[in-house]
């Protein structure tokens, strides 16, 4: 069904409660017995193939995306092995070729981390919660993003460590076209190649809803049955709208499905507080009727902790 982006209440009943709880937790965390505060800066540039997540080959678009984030972190050790990390920050996303993809974000997160045992090889369990505001240039994509995660990590040798994570995320947007939600399960294996160099492999799966895009020539055919009866039956039931996301007349639509993803990341240390990760990620999405979307992303990131 076609949807025109229109403002609506975001988390009307729960938002004041969430903000109050976040402020109370911030005061509590900052009043901890043993604490440290630092600032982290992240800047990255990514080259994405099929950045628009289109199913039709002629609709694929390639583009460079630039991201930046500045964060304030406050770490508190409450007792031996139990640590909290509170973070607040602002960030931006910019795609110069498709300016409607630009956005500014701001928000915070809280992580509680428990170490079971002593020494470097003891397992660590982490619980994360986050809430971030998004101000997007595209109509209807403004909103709030809430997330939670559970992670178990362990170092097995001086050179190898692994982790398993499950997380949940929901975006409460101005328009139902962008009201995405999902949960993921993924694992990582890291190899400390040298004191200044590490290599990490990750692999996982996502279940939930996500957005995709189609050109003004492909979308009418999909609705009319030109791409198959099952495609027309399904796409005529989903939220969609003309957003001009990747050009005049382009359509954005929301669908349910699953995503398989894996990545490989090489991270050299440029100094005690600076690293330069280089990452390749492969993303393969399939919606509930079997339509496939493939994306490949190469990212170079600079991380510095002050």
Q: How far apart are the first and last CA of the chain?
A: 49
The confidence score (pLDDT) of residue 14 equals 43
Tell me the pLDDT tens digit for each residue of 2-47: 554 433 333 434 445 445 545 555 555 455 566 899 999 999 999 9
Tell me the pLDDT tens digit for each residue of 141-153: 999 999 999 999 9
The confidence score (pLDDT) of residue 33 equals 67
**Class in CATH terms, 15-305:** mainly beta
CB 254 within 8 A of CB 209: yes
The confidence score (pLDDT) of residue 100 equals 95
What are the domain boundaries of the chain?
15-305
d(CA 253, CA 231): 13
177 phi and psi, to 5 degrees?
-60, -35
Average of per-residue pLDDT values in the chain: 91
Q: Which of 70, 61, 55 shows the shortest CA–CA distance to 96?
A: 61
* Average pLDDT of adjacent 10-residue blocks, the chain of 306 residues: 42 46 50 80 98 95 97 94 95 96 96 94 97 94 96 96 98 95 98 97 98 97 95 97 96 98 98 97 97 98 96
pTM of this structure:
0.88
d(CA 57, CA 74): 46
Sequence-distant (≥ 6) Cβ neighbours of residue 21 within 8 angstroms: none
The confidence score (pLDDT) of residue 1 equals 56
The confidence score (pLDDT) of residue 123 equals 97
Beta strands in the chain (DSSP E): 34-49, 62-79, 82-94, 103-115, 124-136, 143-155, 160-173, 181-194, 197-214, 240-242, 251-271, 274-275, 278-287, 292-305
The confidence score (pLDDT) of residue 35 equals 83
């Amino acid at each position: 069904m076609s949807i025109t982006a229109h403002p609506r209440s975001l988390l009307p009943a729960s938002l004041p409660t969430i903000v109050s709880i976040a402020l109370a937790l911030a005061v509590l965390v900052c009043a901890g017995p043993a604490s440290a505060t630092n600032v982290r800066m992240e800047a990255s540039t990514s080259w994405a193939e099929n950045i628009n997540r289109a199913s039709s080959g002629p609709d694929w678009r390639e583009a460079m995306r630039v991201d930046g984030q500045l964060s304030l972190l406050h770490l508190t050790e409450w007792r031996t092995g139990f640590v909290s990390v509170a973070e607040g920050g602002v960030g931006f996303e910019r795609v110069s070729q498709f300016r409607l993809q630009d956005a500014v974000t701001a928000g915070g997160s809280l992580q509680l981390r428990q170490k079971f045992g002593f020494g470097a090889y003891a397992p660590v369990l982490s619980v994360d919660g986050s809430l971030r505001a998004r101000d997007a240039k595209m109509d209807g994509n403004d909103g709030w993003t809430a997330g939670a995660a559970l992670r178990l990590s362990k170092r097995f040798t001086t050179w190898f460590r692994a982790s398993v994570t499950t997380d949940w995320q929901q975006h409460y947007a101005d328009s139902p076209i962008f009201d995405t939600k999902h949960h993921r399960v993924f694992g990582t294996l890291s190899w400390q190649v040298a004191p200044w160099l590490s290599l990490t492999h990750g692999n996982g799966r996502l279940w939930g809803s996500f957005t995709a895009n189609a050109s003004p020539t492909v979308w009418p055919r999909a609705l009319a049955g030109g791409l198959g009866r099952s495609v027309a039956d399904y796409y005529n039931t989903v939220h969609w709208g003309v957003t001009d996301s990747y050009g005049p007349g382009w359509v954005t639509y929301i669908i349910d499905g699953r995503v398989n993803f894996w990545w490989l990341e090489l991270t050299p240390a440029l100094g005690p507080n600076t690293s330069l990760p280089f990452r390749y990620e492969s993303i393969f999405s399939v919606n509930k009727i079997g339509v496939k979307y493939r994306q490949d992303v190469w990212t170079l990131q600079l991380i510095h902790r002050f």
